[in-house]
Structure 1
Amino acid sequence: MTNKIYRIDKFIVPDHAKEEFLSRVREAHEILRTLPGFVSNIMVEKTAGNGSFNYVTIAEWATQEAIESAKKELDALREVNNFNPQEMLDRLGIQADLAIYKAIDL
């Protein structure tokens, strides 16, 4: 059995919000990649299909504790920079589904 932990965030991003949204995601992931316990990440954009979400980010972490530590680090940086992610999502009309997943053996 695997112990891999993933933060998977799915978004419905209107066309008018795409540029600002992608800029903020890139900024956050640049920071995440430097933190202890970070393993890998990917962001994908939907190009076909009928699902609602058009962007998905997947970050793999070594442990649950590493995810919690990374969240604290990002929260502290956002506070210093006076950036509220929920305010941005609301202002741009972005819907988000944010969750932590664990890998299972098939």
Structure 2
Amino acid sequence: MAQLPAHKRLYRLDKFIVPVGALEEFLAKVKSTHQLLRNQAGFIQDFLLERPLSDEAIQIATLVEWQDQQSIDNARHAVMAAHKSSDFNAQAFTDRLGIKVEMGSYQPIAM
């Protein structure tokens, strides 16, 4: 299957402000989720990035490049199904760990 040109691809950028004490547990969940994402149709590549904010918190960003919106939608359903089968509640998880979340999908700007 031919891939779309880079300017047609979509990106999922999620940012998290994570208390240092919650970092290990949070990263374990992120890594397992990204293992699932890497096996989805339309996945191109992903990045896990960090930026220290203070002695108490670190910002984690995840960036996933997808072939198209349908790929993002299908991956979202796969993640939701995995969460449901393991009785995982993402909102309760982030609330319990004191994590602030900002999520969104982006598309490239033609230059």
TM-score, normalised via structure 2 length: 0.88
Q: Does the 8 A contact of 1:35 with 1:70 survive in 2?
A: yes
Label 1:102 to 1:53 Cα distance change in 2 as closer, same or farther (>3 A): farther
Residue in structure 2 matched with residue 94 of structure 1 by the alignment: 99
Structure 2 segments unaligned to the other structure (5+ residues)? 1-5
Gaps of 5+ in 1: none
Q: Deviations over 1:40-67 (max 9, x none)?
A: 000111157xxx9611000000000100
What is the number of equivalent residue pairs in this alignment?
A: 104
Distance 2:28 2:52 in 1: 20
Which of 7, 10, 35 in structure 2 is aligned with 1:30? 35
Kindly indicate which of the two structures has a greater share of residues assigned to strand: 2
Contact 2:20–2:58 (8 Å) recurs in 1: no
Deviates more, 1:39-48 or 1:70-79: 39-48
Superposed counterparts of 1:11-26, under 5 Å: 11-26=16-31
Quote the Cα distance in structure 1 between the aligned partners of 2:50 and 2:81. Answer: 28
- Seq. identity, %: 36
Establish whether residue 7 from structure 1 lines up as the match of residue 12 from structure 2.
yes
Deviations 1:81-104 (A, max 9, x none): 000111100000000000000011
Q: Any conservation in 2 of the 1:10–1:53 contact (CA below 8 Å)?
A: no
Cα shift at 1:105: 1.9
> What is the root-mean-square deviation in Å for CA atoms of aligned residues?
1.9
Amino acid at match of 2:8: N
Taking structure 1 as the reference length, the TM-score comes to 0.92
DSSP-derived class of the 2:87 partner: coil
SS in 2 for 1:104: coil
* Amino acid corresponding to residue 56 of structure 1 in structure 2: A
